[in-house]
Structure 1
Amino acid sequence: MLLRKLSESEYIEAINLSMYAFQYNVPETDIPARQELLKKHTIFGIWEEQNLAAKLHIIPLKVQINGIDWEMGGIAGVATYPEFRRKGYVSSLIKHALSEMNKEGQLFSFLHPFNISFYRKYGWEIFTEYKKTIINKIDLEMAGKSSGTIKRFTKKQHIKTIEKIYREYMLRYSGGLVRDSYWWKNFVYSDYQIAVYFDEASEGQGYILFKVKDNKMDVEEFAALNQEARVNLWNFICQHDSMVEEVKIITSVHDPFPFYLNQPNLKMEVFPYFMGRIVNVEKCLCQYSFLDNNENVFLHVEDHHAPWNNGSYLIADNGVRVFKEKEGSQCTNPPARGLHISINALSAIIIGYKRPMELYELGEMKGSRNDAEILERKVPLQKSFFYDFF
């Protein structure tokens, strides 16, 4: 068994494994484009003799958390051929990926789990949910008078205004992907189009990413910067009442839709979505903007698969002090002060998915209630959300 990085000439092996494991087909004519796309990935594989047995991709991306853009390693394409499963290959790849992301300065890592409990073992934690709302044709009733204009755009017609709206909209949340034009054109549009709402001053104030097919309207993104944009984008959706029997809309659980509709009694479902974890706790906490309130608290972090994170961290107004365990030392009596916290729980707090007191009540942090209340007051209030997929 050999674990190593794939060369560009071996990308076809990664593509073949993905097609087998995820049960899809890449047409022969599309293989060169797929190989070109993989040049942006770092792919590690485990080889049995001359055969690729398992693989994992790291995609270098950026995310916005607490008002700051952070380097993030996106984990994707994790796959093993069935004859090589249950040999611990994926576990080895994940641990290696954590080390590589740490070396590359990627302080966070996100992934879409096939199984939440599996990735929790390696320190990733759910950090976002999405809300799916189903609207039947009978409920497509306009929410008020329309104003401004709606313009539709395909991938080939993409404009920077859409990127500006997305960026401003996602600043309301924590954890959102920082998208460039390449990402928009290659990973957002697919076979969808975008409808942008422009106000009376011709300023873009919101958009929806949607497609209409088989008498159904699928709205994958609904990003409105104000109530005027919400109403006009909803009214645009209602204008499809002669074309569709049903509309599906994906939003953040924190988005006010459908409260402002005349008939908000609609079928809604909430789903856990992406998982995230801190890759380097020291660098993350030192760059994170805690609230200054003349209080301080110790965090004793435990991370089984990224041992460089194990240690104690004093969160104070004048910065973060780090106390790492010396190699080979054993502490028979753990520190009495502070909170003992897993990398999972800390990641959920820092990204903005859970509040410290909520996790303390759930038993995810150990220590005094007073210290938990101090941490609650030190961490800014955030709402996490993630619209993308990789």
Structure 2
Amino acid sequence: MEIKELNEKDYLESMKLSMYAFQYKIPEESIASRIEMLKRHKVIGVWDNSNLAAKLHIIPYQISINGEEWKMGGVAGVATYPEFRRNGYVKRLIIEALERMHKEEQIVSLLHPFDIGFYRKFGWDIFTENKKIQIEKKDLKFTEAQSGTIKRFTKETHHPDIETVYAQFSKKYMGMLVRDRTWWANNIYGDGQIAVYYNQNSEAQGYLLYEVKERKMDVQEFVVLTQEARCGLWNFICQHDSMVEEVSILTSSHELLPFTLHQPKVKMEVTPYFMARIVDAEQCLLKYSFKDIGKKVFLHLEDEYAPWNIGSYLIADGEVKVYKEKPGSNCVQPPQRGVRLDINSLTALLFGYKRPAELYELGYIKGKEEEIADLEELFPFNKPFFYDFF
């Protein structure tokens, strides 16, 4: 068994494994473009007697954290042929991927799980949920009229205003993908179109990504910066009342739209979506925007699969001091007091998915109640969200 990075001559084998594992077929005319896409990935594989047995893709992205852009390693395309399963190959690939992402300074990693429990074992955890709102035609009631206008765009007429709105919107949340023009062109529109709300000053304030077919309106992105845009876009949805029997809206679990509806009693489904993992805890904590509350809190961190994260971190006066054991060193050891947690819990805290008091109640973090209270004050109230897929 050997682990190595795939090169261009191996890409066809990688695609064959993907087609077998995920049960789809790549058209012959699409193979060349797929190879070009794979050149932007780092694909690592397990080779068993010169046969590709398992593989994993690491895709370089950036996400928005506290309004800053952080390097992120997107994990995707994890697959194994059935005859090679339960040999620990995927575990070896995940450990190798963590080491490579650490070297590439991708301080966090995101993935879409086939099984949440499986990836939790390796330090990834849920960081965001999606809310799907189902609205029947009878509940398409207009709200107060707005003074702005709606303009519609397609993939061919895509406008920079849309990207500006998304960039501003993403700063309100933790973990949203930083989208470049190529991503917009290749990964967003599909068969849909985008309706943008402009205020009286011709400033874009929100948009819908949507499709209308078979008498159903499917809103895949509902992105608003202001209440005016929220009302204006909702009224635009209502304008389809003669065309549709049902509207579905996919949005953040934090979106306030349902509260504003004439009939808020609509069907809503909240589902865990993407998972995140801290790859480099030291850099995450150093870059993170903690509140300066004039108190000190020690975090004692465990990480089974990324041992470079194991250590103690003192958060005080808006700064972080790191204590890690080094063989043969005489480094000062931190006191035994402090909050003890694993990398899963730290990830949930940093992304704002869970609060310290919640994890303490669940027994996921340990410490004295006064230390947990201090930790509550240190962490700002953030809202995580993620619209994309890879």
Shared fold per TM-score greater than 0.5? yes
Give the equivalent residue in structure 2 for 1:191.
191
Taking the aligned partners of 2:51 and 2:228, their CA distance within structure 1 comes to 57
Taking the aligned partners of 1:323 and 1:336, their CA distance within structure 2 comes to 12
Give the equivalent residue in structure 1 for 2:308.
308
1:234-273 Cα deviation digits (max 9, x unpaired): 1111122222211110111111011111111100010001
Structure 2 counterpart of 1:307, one-letter code:
P
Structure 1 counterpart of 2:190, one-letter code:
S
> Contact between 2:67 and 2:172, CA under 8 Å: does it hold in 1?
no
**Structure 2 residue 142 is matched with structure 1 residue 142:** yes
> Contact between 1:108 and 1:279, CA under 8 Å: does it hold in 2?
yes
Normalising to structure 2: TM-score of the pair?
0.96
> Contact between 2:290 and 2:318, CA under 8 Å: does it hold in 1?
no
Deviation at 1:110, TM superposition (A): 0.4
Give the equivalent residue in structure 1 for 2:284.
284
Give the equivalent residue in structure 2 for 1:356.
356
**Structure 2 residue 202 is matched with structure 1 residue 206:** no
Taking the aligned partners of 1:327 and 1:354, their CA distance within structure 2 comes to 35
> Contact between 1:297 and 1:374, CA under 8 Å: does it hold in 2?
yes
For structure 2, the residue ranges without an aligned partner over 5 or more in a row are: none
C-alpha change, 1:375 and 1:62, in structure 2 (3 Å) is same
**Structure 2 residue 10 is matched with structure 1 residue 10:** yes
Deviating more after overlay: 88-97 vs 353-362: 353-362
**Structure 2 residue 111 is matched with structure 1 residue 111:** yes
Taking the aligned partners of 1:191 and 1:51, their CA distance within structure 2 comes to 38
Give the equivalent residue in structure 2 for 1:83.
83
C-alpha change, 1:116 and 1:334, in structure 2 (3 Å) is farther
Taking the aligned partners of 2:10 and 2:161, their CA distance within structure 1 comes to 39
Deviation at 1:148, TM superposition (A): 2.1
SS at match of 1:47: strand
**Structure 2 residue 159 is matched with structure 1 residue 159:** yes
1:209-251 Cα deviation digits (max 9, x unpaired): 1111222111110001111111111111112222221111011
Normalising to structure 1: TM-score of the pair?
0.96
Taking the aligned partners of 1:13 and 1:147, their CA distance within structure 2 comes to 56
Taking the aligned partners of 1:143 and 1:230, their CA distance within structure 2 comes to 10
1:272-318 Cα deviation digits (max 9, x unpaired): 01100110111111111211121111100000000000011111115
1:115-155 Cα deviation digits (max 9, x unpaired): 11100000001000011100111111212214322111111
Taking the aligned partners of 1:344 and 1:83, their CA distance within structure 2 comes to 31
Give the equivalent residue in structure 1 for 2:46.
46
**Residues paired across the two proteins, number:** 387
Structure 2 counterpart of 1:340, one-letter code:
R
> Contact between 1:129 and 1:253, CA under 8 Å: does it hold in 2?
yes
> Contact between 2:80 and 2:90, CA under 8 Å: does it hold in 1?
yes
Identity level (%): 59
Give the equivalent residue in structure 2 for 1:62.
62
Structure 1 counterpart of 2:367, one-letter code:
G
Give the equivalent residue in structure 1 for 2:297.
297
For residues 92-111 of structure 1, what are the structure 2 equivalents within 5 Å?
Answer: 92-111=92-111
Deviation at 1:67, TM superposition (A): 2.2
> Contact between 2:356 and 2:372, CA under 8 Å: does it hold in 1?
yes
Deviating more after overlay: 310-319 vs 218-227: 310-319
> Contact between 1:300 and 1:338, CA under 8 Å: does it hold in 2?
yes
Give the equivalent residue in structure 1 for 2:261.
261
> Contact between 1:66 and 1:351, CA under 8 Å: does it hold in 2?
no
| Cα RMSD for the two superposed structures | 1.5
Deviation at 1:328, TM superposition (A): 8.9
SS at match of 1:14: helix
Give the equivalent residue in structure 2 for 1:250.
250
Give the equivalent residue in structure 2 for 1:221.
221
Deviation at 1:334, TM superposition (A): 9.9
Taking the aligned partners of 1:138 and 1:25, their CA distance within structure 2 comes to 41
Runs (4+) of structure 1 moved beyond 6 Å? none
Taking the aligned partners of 2:137 and 2:101, their CA distance within structure 1 comes to 48
SS at match of 2:156: helix
For structure 1, the residue ranges without an aligned partner over 5 or more in a row are: none
1:309-353 Cα deviation digits (max 9, x unpaired): 001111111521111123499xxx995300110000001101111
Taking the aligned partners of 1:25 and 1:141, their CA distance within structure 2 comes to 44
SS at match of 1:102: helix
Structure 1 counterpart of 2:326, one-letter code:
K
Deviation at 1:12, TM superposition (A): 1.5
> Contact between 2:357 and 2:376, CA under 8 Å: does it hold in 1?
yes
